[in-house]
A and B are shown apart, each in its own frame.
Chain A
Amino acid sequence: MNSDAAVRPGTISAPSVVGAVIVILALGGAFYGGESIVRQLVSGLTLGAIYMTVAVAFTLTIGVLNFLNFTIPTLFMLTGMIAWGLMAKGYVRFAGGWAWLAALAAGVAVAVVASLIVERFTFRYLKMRHGDATEHAIPLVSSLGFLLIFEHLVLLSLGSESERFAVPFNADIHVGYLVIGAAQVASSVLAVAVVAALSFVLRKSRIGRALRTIAENADTALLLGVETNKVVPVVFVLTGLLAGLAGALFTVNYGHVSPFMGDEVGTKAVAAMVIGGLGSIWGSIAGGLIVGVIETFSVYFFGGDSVQMVVWTILLAILIVRPQGLLGAAVSARSRL
């Protein structure tokens, strides 16, 4: 089987499906619902951009390593909390007006390092000991352990309060009757650009080919000369980068951080990944945007307490009816990435 044949003849490519869904939603909303609906849609899509980035981090580890990495929500939270801690203690004052950016960059770096620690003590160690770490629930349970460690270390060192994270710009962009924050636009564009770049790298580059080979079959990849021990950490670096980026975007967009900010975003991102299809990057992109839009609309129509029920009931229904998700391939790892 040719692994480049992800787009089979007669099928429509995933990116165009995602684009079409967004355009149809936007046009439909504009025609039938008027102003308030379009406004909900836009805020749903910006929220969705954050879910999407976290969901891609989840789907990458599942797609390549068959590992549901529960530390991703904490990596997301670490970025925001570390950035706030650096700001509050004045360690980034040297950067002047760009202190917030330096703090966020440091936060992302911490997330990447934390992710590598997780790789070292869950995945690599277990693989050395038990041969194949991907078969069992062991790395999953181990990552739950790291989730507790990171979250409570942050609670111990930085407190349990929700803190304000001020960003020195709040310009608005006016499009017709719509008023959108510049930060929201910038972060959504950044999120989409990063994920698109990742998708391109996975498809075209040498490291991307190596990752896709491991996704297909780790043992065969090793036999064929892929240095799995060097390639697997790349997945964790990417995971840390994506989760950290999403955390930074969330912090800038909503202007506050808390030690629990990752929990809800993390679980929504899991939902997004499942809705899109496990292991499919474009599925996670679609799923993230869909969950973001579902969330803002269920708040709009049924009130704030309905979000959790609506999102998870839809998810459960999708799992029952179509376990492979909207864009996932049922068995084959071929079109996973």
Chain B
Amino acid sequence: MSGYASGILAIFCINLIFAYGIFVPAAAGQINLGGAGFQAIGAYGAAWLSSVAMQPMWITIPAAMLIAGLVGFLISFPVLRMRGVYMVLATFAFGEAVAGFLLWTQFFGGAIGMVVPAHIELPAICGSAAAVTLFAFYLMATRFGMIARSINDDEAVATLMGVNARATQVAAFTIGGALAGLSGALYAHNFSFVEAQYFNSFLSIYILLFVLIGGVQTAWGPLVGTLFFTLLPEVLRIGGSWRYVVFGAAIVLMMAVRPQGIVTRLMADRLSLRRLLAKRRQAGAGA
């Protein structure tokens, strides 16, 4: 595989894990516009543990996940007190505050950034992305996923039915934070360098858009959204700013014609393997 293709594959896998980190809370109706903050925590956690504490990767990556998950858990309590625009703004503020802190403090190298000694190879990143994807599908098939969907559809009704919305949302936020942290740790180890400027508000915006355009109703959404927006520009061979113009136009168009995202629950049901097999069996029985 050429260096170019493997570079794209690596960033695709990292973005996919990151997108699932945003998807899990979004599936429970929580829009997180501070994703870059969680990813930055994971990246800097892994970078510090690797370069200063000299820990091997099998410690740095899980530890980075744990730290980002813990931060997600703690921040979810104040954030979940708010709703709508307030919650979007609070998560946005969180992302900006984390980036601002990393830029300011000399402990993590400030504006210069940090060099990460341990390097992770592409197969490990792809394996993690595949595992996270399977985990997300599993999660959405469990009772937890069902409850999350019911909250997303109508929180008031879900609560009336006896669902503990708050506990579910806290759990979703924690899992989301941990996954974003994992993507950050993989980013740090793959690119061997972290700087606070990378984890800016535009990164948060892009990754949220991947998820929302893909669709939050099923676990297919982030996969389709990330694939679409990472690979489409490469396939079309459009570079530089035109890529973003097309991206922006695609978003405006999508919101106008299909605001629920590319993949909806109905579509996933219709195209499911089980259903297709059942249909074939029926046709076979009829004949």
Q: List the interface of chain A (C-beta within 8 A of B).
A: 62, 66, 68, 121-122, 125-126, 129-130, 136-142, 144-149, 151-153, 155-156, 263, 267, 270-271, 274, 278, 302-303, 305-313, 315-316, 319-320, 323
Contact = CB atoms under 8 A, between A and B. Distances in A.
**Chain A contact surface mostly:** helix
Nearest to A140: B88
Given A306-B104, A323-B82, A312 B93 contact: yes
Given A144-B205, A309-B104, A319-B78, A138 B93 contact: no
Interface string B247-276: 111111001100100000000000000000
B81 A271 contact: no
Given A305-B103, A309-B101, A130 B259 contact: yes
A149 B78 CA distance: 34
Contacts of B111: 305
A109 B251 CA distance: 26
B73 interface: no
Contacts of B88: 68, 137, 140
B241 A308 contact: no
Interface residues of B, number: 40
B82 A319 contact: yes
Nearest 6 Cβ contacts at the A-B interface: A308-B100, A145-B251, A148-B248, A309-B100, A149-B248, A312-B97
A307 B78 CA distance: 23
Contacts, number: 133
Given A141-B209, A145-B249, A305-B110, A152 B244 contact: yes
Contacts of A311: 96, 100
A327 to B, nearest CB: 16
Given A126-B259, A309-B101, A319-B82, A153 B245 contact: yes
Contacts of A68: 85, 88-89
A254 to B, nearest CB: 22
A316 B94 CA distance: 7
Contacts of A312: 93-94, 96-97, 100
A148 B251 contact: yes
A138 B255 CA distance: 6
B256 A142 contact: yes
Contact of B241 (A125, A155, A274, A319): A155
Contacts of A267: 96, 201
B186 interface: no
A138 B261 CA distance: 11
25 contacts: A62-B85, A121-B256, A122-B255, A130-B259, A138-B255, A140-B85, A141-B255, A141-B259, A148-B245, A148-B248, A149-B252, A152-B241, A152-B245, A156-B242, A263-B201, A274-B89, A274-B93, A303-B104, A305-B111, A307-B100, A308-B104, A309-B97, A311-B96, A319-B78, A323-B82
A145 B252 contact: yes
Contact of B259 (A136, A303, A316): A136
B192 to A, nearest CB: 24
B22 interface: no
Contact of B100 (A151, A310, A323): A310
A312 B94 CA distance: 7
Contacts of B36: none
Contacts of B242: 152, 156
B251 A144 contact: yes
Contact of A146 (B94, B240, B252): B252
A323 B84 CA distance: 12
Contacts of A274: 89, 93
Nearest to B89: A274
Given A66-B84, A274-B89, 12 more contacts: A121-B252, A122-B252, A130-B259, A140-B85, A140-B88, A141-B259, A142-B251, A146-B248, A148-B247, A152-B248, A153-B245, A316-B93
Contacts of A138: 255, 259
Contacts of B82: 319, 323
B224 interface: no
B248 A145 contact: yes
A126 B255 contact: yes
A153 B249 CA distance: 11
Contacts of B241: 152-153, 155-156
Given A62-B85, A308-B104, A312-B97, A142 B255 contact: yes
Contacts of A307: 100
Interface in B100-135: 100-101, 103-104, 110-111
B261 to A, nearest CB: 10
A228 B78 CA distance: 36
Contacts of A62: 85
B248 A147 contact: yes
A151 B244 contact: yes
Nearest to A324: B86
B92 interface: yes
A328 to B, nearest CB: 10
Given A152-B244, A278-B86, A144 B209 contact: yes
A313 B100 CA distance: 9
Given A274-B89, A313-B97, A129 B104 contact: no
